[in-house]
């Protein structure tokens, strides 16, 4: 499903936030089964600015990225869970393999990923920096991943 309507609405919202001097933080991911690592990194990402936008992979994008057995939770449910977090201002889905198109549409002030990524390898880092923005990596919370959660569930299954 094309998400151009959501992208255009998000772009207009960013324009309004910018006009009122807000610092726009952006991150992205699959967020299939939420865990404390996600919560910690999203909270810290939000604290870097005034609003936090989360680019969210749609289901087919996750299937291509993480295998046919994923996602466990469909896009709509993942969107509901993320939107309920105090740290998250706006959730915007994307269908592509990477969020590059969405990042180029929004051009956030700070692009954020968790500590499992190197700043220079983050999709969109070049475009955000070229636009005067920055890239930030949030310390990884050891012992937490969706993959580990799935394995635990399979073990007790
Ligand atoms: N333990 C963690 N601590 C901090 N950030 C994390 C942690 N796990 C994932 N993240 C961050 O959360 C975002 C979403 O990652 P993702 O949904 O792939 O989580 P995951 O637990 O790694 O999932 P999977 O095990 O399926 O790969 C990414 O920006 C990633 O860097
Ligand atoms: O949840 P993940 O696997 O951390 O999210 C992926 O992040 C990729 C990242 O932005 C690469 O720098 C992205 O390309 C991919 O679509 C997932 O969002």
Question: What's the average pLDDT block by block, 10 residues per block, for the chain (157 residues)?
Answer: 92 98 98 98 98 98 98 98 98 98 98 96 98 98 97 94
Nearest to 105 by CA among 1, 9, 30: 9
- The reported pLDDT for the residue numbered 58 is 98
- The reported pLDDT for the residue numbered 93 is 98
- The reported pLDDT for the residue numbered 74 is 98
pTM of the model: 0.98
Q: What angle do CA 89, 9, 136 make, to 5 degrees?
A: 45
What's the full length of the chain, in residues? Answer: 157
> With contact defined as beta carbons under 8 Å apart, do 54 and 91 qualify?
yes
105-145 pLDDT tens trace: 999 999 999 999 999 999 999 999 999 999 999 999 999 99
Ligand nearest to the CA of 56: 2
Q: Return the residue whose CA atom lies nearest to atom 17 of ligand 2.
A: 29
Residue 93: strand, helix, or coil: strand
- How many Å lie between the centroid of ligand 1 and the Cα of residue 10? 23
Ligand nearest to the CA of 145: 1
- The reported pLDDT for the residue numbered 37 is 98
- The reported pLDDT for the residue numbered 1 is 74
Average pLDDT, the chain: 97
- The reported pLDDT for the residue numbered 109 is 98
Q: How far apart are CA 128 and CA 53, in angstroms?
A: 14
**H or E element that contains 2:** none
- The reported pLDDT for the residue numbered 44 is 98
Query: Is the beta carbon of 29 within 6 A of some atom in ligand 2?
Result: yes
Which CATH superfamily groups domain 4-156?
Answer: HUPs (3.40.50.620)
The DSSP code for 120 is G
- The reported pLDDT for the residue numbered 157 is 87
- The reported pLDDT for the residue numbered 2 is 81
- How many Å lie between the centroid of ligand 2 and the Cα of residue 38? 13
Ligand nearest to the CA of 147: 1
**Phi first, then psi: what are they for 57, rounded to 5°?**
-60, 135
Q: How far apart are CA 38 and CA 54, in angstroms?
A: 12
Could you identify the atom of ligand 1 that is nearest to the CA of residue 144?
1
């Amino acid at each position: 499903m094309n998400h151009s309507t959501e992208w255009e609405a998000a772009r207009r919202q960013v324009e309004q936030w910018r006009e009122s001097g807000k610092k726009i933080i952006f991150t992205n991911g699959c967020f299939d089964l939420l865990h404390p690592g996600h919560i910690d990194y999203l909270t810290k990402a939000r604290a870097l600015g005034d609003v936090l936008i989360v680019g969210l992979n749609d289901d087919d994008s996750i299937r291509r990225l993480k295998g046919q057995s994923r996602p466990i939770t469909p896009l709509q449910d993942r969107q509901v869970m993320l939107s309920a977090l105090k740290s998250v201002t706006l959730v915007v889905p994307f269908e592509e393999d990477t969020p590059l198109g969405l990042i180029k549409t929004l051009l956030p002030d700070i692009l954020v990923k968790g500590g499992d990524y190197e700043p220079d390898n983050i999709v969109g880092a070049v475009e955000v920096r070229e636009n005067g923005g920055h890239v930030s990596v949030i310390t990884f919370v050891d012992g937490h991943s969706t993959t580990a959660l799935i394995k635990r569930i399979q073990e007790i299954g």
